[in-house]
Structure 1
Amino acid sequence: MPALLAEAERSSGMTAELRCRIANLINALLPQFDAVLITCSTLGPVADDFSVQDRVMRTDGMLAKALQRQSGPTVALCAAESTLAATRALFCQPDSQVEVALVEGAWAAFKAGDTTRYFALIAAAAEQAYQQGAVAVALAQSSMTPAAQQFPETQRPLTGPHLALQACYDLR
């Protein structure tokens, strides 16, 4: 639902009114589906308004847990500035060694339709994080996932879609 993200971007993040509207949308979907998966990092915090039994999951939440299980310094990369606060709140838990970093210029490239530049900027930021000693890098937004394919499997950044699909499969 791109219009919801656009609204959050215009408001510099999620407002209480937007959060309420998204929660109402999710409540309308729950009776029809096994689970509702929120893939947008900016809008993801609304999942916290639901209980585990409601089966409302956020992709970046699964990613944060996977990154926090790593031993050593880690980096979560964000493309959109509107997601920084939500990502920091989720990834930067006490005693974690997670740094959240914005990939400058990436979101502008994405919004302009220049996905080649978008993925190149993300891959370069991930490579730099590894060169600076990160033991793991997470691509905090689902749209960033294709950039991970540029890395060898042993050094591939963590991405949320795979973890989310596995979690949905585990619900069955």
Structure 2
Amino acid sequence: MAFKISPKPTQMVHSATLKSNTGEAELVIEFITPAKYTCQPGFESSIRLNGIHWDGDHTHPFQTAINGLWLMAEDLMALRDYIVNYINQPLDRLNPEDLKGEFELARLPDQSLRFRFEPESGSSSKLNPEVFITMTAGRLRSEFHFVTDQSCLAIFAREMSAPLRGSHENTV
């Protein structure tokens, strides 16, 4: 008698990518699977940071990733809604000074994923927001920042909406 092993159903993994305005740096959140923690809806997620380090003579690409962070759906929606409210303003009223804010997305013990928005600090024009990202998992800590723009923020917010709409938004 032969046994037939059924393959696991393929699970669609949604991701949201926040790119820098130069396209050289990005944060990618992969929403692996919906999961509740203490009755709060959220996602088991992977976070990846990609960038380029310049040593004065050459550029060197780098990447870091943390798997297994649990991100709370309510916090993800708050971040998404904050970005959407900012980018939905008339173009002549978009001011990076109005995007100052900080968001904590990972809430399990020894886990952190923090977003902080500020006006761009490295330029005299100050037309674009700068995002500072801090990740912690156990003893591993990573800090990263880059300048983004309104179109990159709009794409990121739209990409965050799909997994939230698909699994948690109606239950929070």
TM-score if structure 1 supplies the norm length? 0.26
TM-score if structure 2 supplies the norm length? 0.26
More helix by share: 1
Bigger Cα Rg: 2
